[in-house]
Amino acid sequence: MLIRIGYDIRFELTQDVPFLALVRVHPSRQADLRSSDLIRTDVYTRVEEYLDTFGNACSRFLARSGPHCLGARAIIEDAGQPDPACPDAPEIPLPNLLALPW
The Cα–Cα gap between 20 and 92 comes to: 26
- Per-residue pLDDT band for 101 (boundaries 50, 70, 90) equals low
CATH class of 2-79: mainly beta
In this prediction the pTM is 0.72
pLDDT of residue 95: 83
pLDDT of residue 50: 95
pLDDT tens, 64-96? 999 999 999 999 999 989 989 999 999 888 888
Average pLDDT over residues 48-69: 93
Q: Considering only CA atoms, which of 41, 77, 80, 81 is closest in space to residue 62? A: 41
The Cα–Cα gap between 17 and 13 comes to: 8
Residue 92 in 3-state DSSP? coil
